[in-house]
């Protein structure tokens, strides 16, 4: 089983619950329709990895940087950043056939996470992804269609969240291909204070 770090604890999520289409600009860049209800899907524990791969088998992977929350005692306890890796061509084919996304989203190595830190009282965050020093994605809780608390409530309507489970809140515009050798730097900010940073090297 794969684990993540929350302050000084090592936590093993049973699952990762992801929100799709939670930023209007990202919906537009992929030419998707704005959903009338929240889009949710799940990545299993086996999707977690420490390594950022450019490909899964022979298939090219795309990155999506996301604000993430760790659940404890049925509340949002920790906050961090993650990469939701996607087989974009396969996902497009599945969507065209109205089929589930798991083959494109839940494969082994499809989710990477920074260390999680305690959430603040305001719940307001900003985050960025730089690739080889160039800004690729910029996210802000104020731009999200559904807030983290709304997402938590929606999930709780039909699914039990265990301690350590992770919620990925969706990605802003700027997604693209993972290129082998590229350096990915993510930074999480709380108003004007930098909360955490992390770096991955794509292989």
pLDDT tens-digit readout, 9-56: 999 999 999 998 888 766 556 666 766 788 999 999 999 999 999 999
Query: How confident is the model at residue 28, as a pLDDT?
Result: 59
Q: What is the Cα 12 distance to its own chain's centre?
A: 17
The DSSP call for residue 7 is T
Q: In what side-by-side order are the strands of the sheet with 183-190?
A: 134-140, 126-131, 183-190, 193-201
Q: Which two tokens stand for residue 129?
A: 């992804």
Query: How confident is the model at residue 192, as a pLDDT?
Result: 73
Taking the C-alpha atoms of 42, 66, 152 and 147 in order, what is their torsion angle to the nearest 10 degrees? -140
Query: How confident is the model at residue 34, as a pLDDT?
Result: 67
Indicate the pTM of the whole model. 0.93
* Distance separating alpha carbons of residues 76 and 165, to the nearest angstrom: 10
């Amino acid at each position: 089983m794969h684990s993540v770090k929350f302050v000084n604890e090592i936590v093993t999520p049973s699952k990762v619950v992801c929100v799709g289409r939670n930023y209007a600009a990202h919906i537009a860049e992929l030419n998707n329709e704005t959903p009338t209800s929240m889009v949710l899907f799940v990545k299993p524990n086996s999707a977690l990895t420490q390594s950022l791969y450019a490909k899964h088998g022979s298939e090219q992977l795309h990155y999506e940087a996301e604000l993430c929350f760790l659940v404890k005692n049925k509340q949002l306890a920790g906050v961090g950043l993650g990469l939701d890796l996607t087989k974009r061509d396969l996902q497009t084919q599945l969507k065209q056939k109205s089929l589930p996304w798991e083959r494109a989203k839940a494969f082994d190595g499809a989710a990477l996470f920074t260390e999680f830190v305690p959430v603040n009282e305001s719940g307001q965050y900003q985050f960025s992804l730089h690739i080889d020093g160039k800004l690729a994605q910029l996210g802000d809780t104020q731009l999200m269609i559904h807030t983290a608390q709304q997402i938590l409530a929606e999930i709780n309507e039909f699914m039990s969240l265990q301690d350590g489970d992770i919620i990925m809140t969706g990605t802003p515009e700027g997604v693209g291909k993972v290129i082998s050798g590229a350096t990915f730097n993510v930074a999480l900010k709380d108003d004007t204070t930098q909360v955490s940073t992390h770096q991955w090297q794509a292989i």
